[in-house]
Structure 1
């Protein structure tokens, strides 16, 4: 008896849902088209879907190629195919996009704007250029070398040696090149300035690499095809880099404000004991790099 009532209740809910969706779909416009798509998915008429979760089916279809590609392989499959057919070009485009996006996102999160009040600072295209023309080719070659050295070796000992080789050989090279590029982007113009940046930050960056790299490499060894390793590492680097970049920008902005307003108050002699928190300006346009 309870099963029968439950089935009748479910049928009634589906009928009400379909009636509402049909009514909204007849209204036209964006909402109408969305309701029409959900109704289509709810009736199981959307290829590749079952009708059990119509909203998520519509969203997933929109994100993976649209209605015309429903039921077929989506953007991820197309990306992986490009990675197989044109590995270096695809990695360059991926790394460039992620590096530029990382800088833009970190600027937005830290409210770090240029003198014109924009988050799209001069560092964004520079970072994108670094990602596409330096980071991606270097990573492509080093990961190729790593995979070639350990090709066909699947034992636990080989995997451990692969992780050690990555952390003791590949990571130092990548981090040193990264710091050199970042110092140049930040304005270093002499060898001494670049050397000072690398010397100051190298071991800090290496500590982060030694924490994250073994975990990421072990995950890649277990679950990912070798052709996807570089984009996967780029994605992890994007997440970690965005966080570190955001924190760094916030500290830099706080130091600039404290220095600027602290010196102003001290020279004016109107404040004893330094600036107050309310003296700091609201987050907005900041001094250029």
Structure 2
């Protein structure tokens, strides 16, 4: 058995242009495919160049849906059927693909055109200011309005109230994270990757905020319907679903 193994080994390493080359290529595909310079990354960058809007829509939609699912799973916020894949997941995916991505594509493209070829420190600082004072407020307003509609708001008054209540808290988060992410993008990333990069940062922050919000809501429902003594052992999703149906 060992002799056959050695023979196979000699055949694959000494035959020029034969099995060794094939194995080498397969190894490269397996080890480099997921890396920063691998085939998958290069294919994604190529799609960004050839079909920028479509690629950004797919990326944003996937991340938005995944964010909602992960937040529900971490917070143990289940549907009335006991699932983490709630109706909000596809709604968030639709928002990410058809609202967030096109809006970000247009606004970031305008921002990049305004400062294209301007590499001075003054120009970079001015770009960050424009992003924080114009781009971010527009994006956050659309985001809050969309979240209000997804949550069930059906009148202009309800949507406006949600936007007014959440605007400054969301803007404070943007003013902390946006300068850092934009400065990083200015220095290290090609322009076509800015929107996906911002989407990934927003995905991480949004998952944390969404999870925290869900946990607070579930804890409030526990206190309201079962009391603090029960809140330590109850199942969050079940309690939320029962309370939403009016109790037992």
Classify the TM-score, shorter chain: 0.7 to 0.9
Q: Please, what TM-score do these two structures have when normalized by structure 1? A: 0.72
Moved more, 278-287 or 193-202: 278-287
In 2: Cα distance, 1:108 partner to 1:188 partner: 24
Find 2:226's aligned residue among 261, 275, 278.
Answer: 261
Q: What is the CA distance between 1:191 and its match in structure 2?
A: 1.0
User: Whose helix fraction is larger, Structure 1's or Structure 2's?
Assistant: 2
Q: Between Structure 1 and Structure 2, whose CA radius of gyration is higher?
A: 1
TM-score (norm. length: structure 2): 0.84
User: Which residue does the alignment assign to 2:146?
Assistant: 181
How many residues in Structure 1 have an aligned counterpart in Structure 2?
226
Could you tell me how far apart the structure 1 residues matched to 2:32 and 2:141 are?
A: 42
1:106 matches 2:84: no
Q: Offset at 1:283? A: 3.8
Check whether the contact 2:144–2:163 (CA below 8 A) recurs between aligned residues.
yes
- Is it true that 1:281 corresponds to 2:246 in the alignment? no
- Gaps (5+ residues) in structure 2? 6-18
Q: Who is 2:25 aligned against?
A: 47
Answer yes or no: is the 8 Å Cα contact 1:103–1:127 preserved in 2: yes
- Judged with a 3 Å threshold, the aligned counterparts in structure 2 of structure 1 residues 244 and 141 are, in CA distance, closer, same or farther, namely same
Deviations 1:63-97 (A, max 9, x none): 47xxxxxxx95111000000000000000000000
Partner of 1:94: 59
1:261–1:279 contact (8 Å) kept in structure 2: no
Alignment of 1:47-196 (within 5 A): 47=25, 60-61=31-32, 63=34, 73-196=38-161
Deviates more, 1:172-181 or 1:279-288: 279-288
1:221-261 alpha-carbon deviations (Å, 9 max, x no partner): 00000000000000000001001111111111111111111
**What do residues 8-62 of structure 1 show as CA deviations (whole Å, max 9, x unaligned)?**
xxxxxxxxxxx8xx7xxxxxxxxxxxxxxxxx99xx953386xxxxxxx786356
Q: SS of 2:24's equivalent?
A: coil
Give the secondary structure class of the aligned counterpart of 1:46.
helix
Partners in 1 of 2:131 and 2:48 — Cα distance?
A: 22
Which position in structure 1 is the counterpart of 2:14?
A: none
Aligned mates of 1:187, 1:181 — CA distance in 2: 10
Instruction: Check whether the contact 2:32–2:38 (CA below 8 A) recurs between aligned residues.
Output: no
* Correspondence for 1:27: none
Superposition deviation, residue 155 in structure 1: 0.6
Q: Name the CA shift for 1:106/1:59 in 2 (closer, same or farther; >3 Å).
A: farther
Which runs of 5 or more structure 1 residues have no equivalent in the other structure?
Answer: 1-18, 23-39, 50-56, 65-71, 263-274
The equivalent position to 1:215 in structure 2, one of 180, 185, 193, is 180
In structure 2, C-alpha distance between the alignment counterparts of 1:137 and 1:121, rounded to whole Å: 25
Q: Is the Cα–Cα contact under 8 Å of residues 33 and 40 in structure 2 kept in the other structure?
A: no
| CA distance, structure 2, for counterparts of residue 103 and residue 278 of structure 1 | 24
Tell me the C-alpha RMSD between the 2 structures.
2.6
- Native 8 Å contact 1:163 1:214 kept in 2: yes
